[in-house]
Amino acid sequence: MSAPPVSRLGFRGLFSKRMRAVDRAGLRTVMARPEYRRLWAARTVSQWGDVAQFTTLALLVLRLTGSGLGVSGAVLAEIVPVLLLAPVAGPLVDRLPRVRVMVAADLARLVLAATLALWHSDIGVVYAVAFGLSAGSVFFNPAAGSLLPSLVGEEELVAANSGIWSAAVLSQVLLAPVAGLLASTAGFGWAFAMNAGSFGVSALLLRGLRASEAARPLVTASIWVQGREALGLLGRDRLLRALALAQALAALSAGATSALLVLLAARRLHAGGGGYGLMLAGIGVGAFCGPLLLTRLGTRARQPRLVFAAFGLRGVVDVVLASVTTLPVALSALVCYGMGTSSGNVTFSSVIQSHVPEQLRGRVFSAFDLIWQAMRLASLLLGGVLADAFGIRAVYYCGGLLLLAAGLAGLTTSADLPSDGSSPGATQ
C-alpha cells in the first residue's frame, strides 16, 4: 500500500520540524550522553596538564640552555615524533580498541611526565621526555578523534567537537598564567607533576568508557601497507585531497606566523610583553567563541566550505597584521583569527569523522597530522630566513597569501561535493 500524499505545506512543515530538531543538537544534547561526558572530562583534565607542560617547558629550556636555539630544539622534539610515528600510529589505532590505545598513551605519558617532575636539570632528559610526550599524543589524538562518532549521533559531531575544543581553549587562557606562576614560585617540578597527575586522571576516566565501536575485521596486511592505503585514499578521494592540499598550504603559513608573532608585536606594533600578552588573549577569546557560534548552525556547520572559508579569513587577518601599526586594530584582527582557527578545526574534525569510514579514520587522522607537522617544520625554517632577509612584514604577507590560496584551492576543488561532508566515494 502506498503512503498517503503529503501536501507541499505539510512537507515543508515536516522538513522545518526536522531541521529544528537537528539544529538543537548543541552542547546540552551531547553533555546529556554519559560516555561523551566521560571522554570530554578526560580530554579536559589532560589539557590542564598539557597547558602546565607547554607553559613551563620553554621557560625551563631557556634557563638550561640560555639560547633561542635551545628552545627551537624543544619544538623539534615535538614535531619529529609525528613525522616518525604517524605512519605506524594510524594503522594501530584502526586495528586495536581505541579506548585501550588512549589509556596506554596516557599511562606512558604519566611515567614520562613524572620523570621530568623529579629530574629536570639535565637538558638531554628534558628533550627526551618532550619527545616521548609528543609520541604519546601521536597515538592518543587520532584514537580520540576516531572514537568520538561512536559516542554521539552524526548530527551531534559539531557540538561534540566544539565542547572539547572550547574546554581546551578555556583551559589555556585560564591556566597558563597559573602554571607560569607555579613554576616561578614553587619550581618547575610542581608544574610537571601537575601534568603527570592529569594523565593519571584521564586514564582512570577512560578506563570506564564503554564505546560501541564496530568490530575490527581480521587484517593480514602489514602496518606499512595499511599506512600506504590511507595515503592512497587521500589521493583518490576528492574531498580529502582538497583538505590535504589546503592544510599543507595553511601549515606552511601558520608555522612561521605563529612562532614569529612575538617579533611582529615588538618590531611592527612596538608592543612590549603586556601588548604581546593581549594579542595572545585576543586569539584565545576568538578561539573560545568560534565553536560556540558554530553550534548554532546545526548540520550546516559540517560543510567543507566552512573549513576553506576559515583558511581564507585567517589569510585576510595575516595581511591586515602585516599592514597595520596600531595595537587595537591588530587585537580585533586576532580575535577573528582565533575564531577562524577554532571553527575551522571543529568543522575539519567533524567532516573527517562523518566522511571517512570507521575502519580508516585513525589512519586518515594520522596522515593529516603528518602533513601538518611536516609543513609546519618547513614553515619554521623558511620563516626565520624570510624574516631576517626581508623583515617580519614579508613573513605575514606571504603567510596571508598562502592561507588565501588554501581557502581558494579548497573552495574550487570541492565546489560540487555534498554540502554536509558525506561522500559515497570514500572507499572502504
Residue whose grid cell is 597569501 = 401
Residue whose grid cell is 515536516 = 14
Could you tell me the residue ranges of all domains in the chain?
A: 29-211, 222-428
Model pLDDT, residue 217: 56
Longest dimension (CA), the chain: 81
Model pLDDT, residue 426: 44
Please tell me the CATH code under which domain 29-211 is placed: 1.20.1250.20
Model pLDDT, residue 23: 41
Residue 7, Cβ neighbours under 10 Å: how many?
8
Model pLDDT, residue 249: 92
**Cα–Cα distance between 352 and 357 in angstroms, integer?**
9
Model pLDDT, residue 140: 92
**Cα–Cα distance between 193 and 117 in angstroms, integer?**
5
Give the CA angle between residues 243, 294, 247 to the nearest 5°. 15
Model pLDDT, residue 200: 92
pLDDT tens by residue, the chain, 428 residues? 334 333 333 433 433 343 343 344 577 888 888 999 999 999 888 888 777 777 777 778 777 877 666 667 777 888 889 888 888 888 888 888 899 999 999 999 999 989 988 888 888 888 898 899 989 999 999 999 999 998 988 888 888 998 898 888 888 777 777 777 777 777 788 878 888 888 999 999 998 887 766 555 555 455 556 666 666 777 788 888 889 989 999 999 988 888 788 778 888 888 766 677 788 788 888 988 888 887 777 666 778 888 899 999 999 999 999 999 898 999 999 999 999 999 999 999 999 998 888 888 888 998 899 899 899 888 888 887 888 888 889 999 999 999 999 988 887 766 555 555 454 444 33
Q: What is the DSSP letter of 341?
A: H
Q: Tell me whether the CATH fold assigned to 29-211 matches the one assigned to 222-428.
A: yes
**Cα–Cα distance between 188 and 120 in angstroms, integer?**
8
Q: Which residues are CB-neighbours of 287 under 8 A, at least 6 positions away?
A: 165, 169, 338, 339, 341, 342
Model pLDDT, residue 318: 94
Tell me the one-letter amino acid at 170.
Answer: L
Residue 10 has which C-alpha cell?
Answer: 505539510
Place domain 222-428 in its CATH homologous superfamily: MFS general substrate transporter like domains (1.20.1250.20)
From 243, 251, 244, select the one nearest 376 (Cα to Cα). Answer: 251
R_g of the chain computed on alpha carbons: 22
Model pLDDT, residue 64: 80
Model pLDDT, residue 195: 83
Model pLDDT, residue 13: 43
Phi/psi for 326 (5° steps) reads: -110, 135
Model pLDDT, residue 295: 75
Please state whether the predicted TM-score (pTM) of the whole model is above 0.75: yes
Question: Residue 405 in contact with residue 251, Cβ under 8 Å?
Answer: no
**Cα–Cα distance between 307 and 298 in angstroms, integer?**
15
